[in-house]
Amino acid sequence: MSKVLLSLEDDFDFILIGISCHTKDYRLCWKLNKVLNSDLVRTKDLEISRKGEVTSFSFYEFIDEDNYLEYYLISNLGNNGYLISEQKKVDFFLMLKGNTSANQIQDFICKINSLSLVLTSFKIDPTQLKSKQNLLF
């Protein structure tokens, strides 16, 4: 009898924007809601289990049904370490799922960078991250 081997690939079909700022998550969320015309709302924390320890990360989401876009704001620093340890200078990740054009993404980054409390924001390729599995939920 022959064996059948299944090879599953993870789907990283989203845009990831790294945001560096030294403010609380709720304050950044409030400012992002104003500048992006979104309605990010705090939901249950994202929990990642590593080596028997559970690390919690603040998690905000907004589903824009009119434009078929999903927004997720995730803190990079949790109670027991980083979500993406190779991006320690990034304080938050804004994940966009859905149909977005390159112009839209650049517009989002420009709007985020216009906020006085944001030091910088930039696009990150999730496939190049070592800890990319932590972004799948």
What's the pLDDT at 3? 74
Domains of the chain, earliest start first: 15-125 (3.30.310)
Contact 93, 84 (CB under 8 A): yes
Cβ neighbours, 10 Å, residue 59? 19
Q: 137 pLDDT exceeds 90?
A: no
Confidence of residue 136 (pLDDT cuts 50, 70, 90): confident
pTM: 0.86
Confidence of residue 121 (pLDDT cuts 50, 70, 90): very high
- The overall average pLDDT reported for the chain is 88
Using CA atoms, how far apart are residues 133 and 137, in angstroms rounded to an integer?
9
Three-class secondary structure assignment of the chain: CCCCCCCCCCCCCCEEEEEEECCCHHHHHHHHHHHHCCCCEECCCEEEEECCEEEEECEEEEEECCCCEEEEEEECEECCEECCHHHCCCCEEEEEEECCCHHHHHHHHHHHHCCCCEEEEEEECHHHCCCHHHHCC
